[in-house]
Structure 1
Amino acid sequence: MFEILTPAQFLTSPWRNGGGVTHEIAKAEQDGRWLWRLSVAEVASDGPFSHFPGMARILTVIEGAGMVLDTPDGPLAAQPLHPVGFSGETSVVGRLLNGQIRDLNVIYDPLRVRAEVRLWQGEAVQSHDRGMTGLFALSDGVHANGQTVPEGAMVLGHGFTLQGGQGLLLHLDQQSPT
């Protein structure tokens, strides 16, 4: 069972600091807290990141030259199509390298969810049976079980085979409490 979510279905919110916009793709909650949230951000200016206590983040630049994430532990390079992970509690200030960017964000509870993101180059791949598999289409030509996935859309679920095009492949696997 899977669905194809197009940008017209994303929930759009401007940032309080005026530095960008978030397009929420999907989220899962449990006991009144996020398990995970997927979104695309349009970052128009340098500035601080929102804090997400108890959460972890994976950010992948999907458009633009990238940015430097200044943290108390030193800078992190957010280069195009190279996922970078960090704690949602970390104080981060983003510095754009050469104009605005767009990025895909996976925010998740690391005590309850294991998450991974990687660049996918169109090879046939079957979704995981466990957890949630997603693909953010970076190009046309992506197909899920023969259905066309438009550029900028997200395939989300399980029980599908992906072929063609390019995208960011992600997997979210809920962990058993210890």
Structure 2
Amino acid sequence: MKDRVIRNRDLVRVPWRNGGGTTAEVAAFPEGSGFDSFSWRISMADVASDGPFSLFPGIDRTLILVEGDGIELDVEGIAYQLDRASPKLSFSGDNITTGHLLSGPIRDLNVMTRRGRFRHRTRFVESGVALLSEDTVAAALVALDGSFDVTVHSMLHSLQAMDTLMLEPTQDLLQISGSGRAILVEIEPDPA
């Protein structure tokens, strides 16, 4: 896989079956895999109304609020509020989960890995440098609320808000300059 930029404007948004929003796949492995066959998947969802989340048995998930005021997730009867102060939650796709919007629609970044094959890690980054874990087999840098220039492998990649830079594994420093925040997603094999 070569480093490549995926523009937010090029993502294909597909309506949910329950009509509560849309989803757009950013990347998945293997490429072209469906919900029953992916090993890992990164997507963005526009959530327009309250409702249940789809079950994904055997999948570990991280949901990150990227636009909007927030959502309260009820995961197996325990409430978690995702807002600007606390925008991220990791949970099992096996768990019965429902969402309640705090104040209008939101957009979230959703990272899913199939247990026993892969696991993932997410972190917020700003201008500066970042280094991928040695075990990383695929990575993505998603610009959230500003534009970024990312230099890796002596190549400059320019991102606008909600664009994604898919990265091949590297031990080179990622040089990041710009304004706002970005999310760095790292996928690695699950030794379990």
With structure 2 as the length reference, what TM-score do the two structures score?
A: 0.84
Report the count of equivalent residues: 177
Residue 175 of structure 1: aligned partner: 190
**Equivalent position to 1:142, from 138, 142, 148:** 148
Q: What letter matches 1:164 in structure 2? A: S
Q: Is the 8 A contact 2:138 2:187 kept in 1?
A: yes
Tell me, which stretches of 5 or more residues in structure 1 are unaligned? none
Give the 5 Å matches for 1:75-86: 75-80=79-84, 82-86=87-91
CA RMSD of aligned residues (A): 2.1
Structure 1 position 164 matched with structure 2 position 174? no
Q: Is the 8 A contact 2:150 2:177 kept in 1?
A: no
Percent sequence identity is 30
What whole-Å deviation, never above 9, does each CA across 1:109-137 have from its counterpart, x for those lacking one?
12211201111122212444531111110
SS in 2 for 1:111: coil
Q: Is the 8 A contact 1:61 1:83 kept in 2?
A: yes
Q: Is the 8 A contact 1:132 1:172 kept in 2?
A: yes
Shift of 1:174: 1.9
**Equivalent position to 2:117, from 107, 112, 116:** 112
What whole-Å deviation, never above 9, does each CA across 1:113-167 have from its counterpart, x for those lacking one?
1201111122212444531111110133311222211211111123462412320
SS in 2 for 1:99: coil
Q: What letter matches 1:141 in structure 2? A: S
Residue 13 of structure 2: aligned partner: 12
With structure 1 as the length reference, what TM-score do the two structures score?
A: 0.90
Shift of 1:27: 0.3
Tell me, which stretches of 5 or more residues in structure 2 are unaligned? none
Indicate how the Cα distance of structure 1 residues 3 and 128 shifts in structure 2: closer, same or farther if over 3 A, else same.
farther
Moved over 6 A (4+): none
SS in 1 for 2:13: strand
What whole-Å deviation, never above 9, does each CA across 1:35-81 have from its counterpart, x for those lacking one?
11111100010000011111111000001111111122411222236
Indicate how the Cα distance of structure 1 residues 125 and 52 shifts in structure 2: closer, same or farther if over 3 A, else same.
same
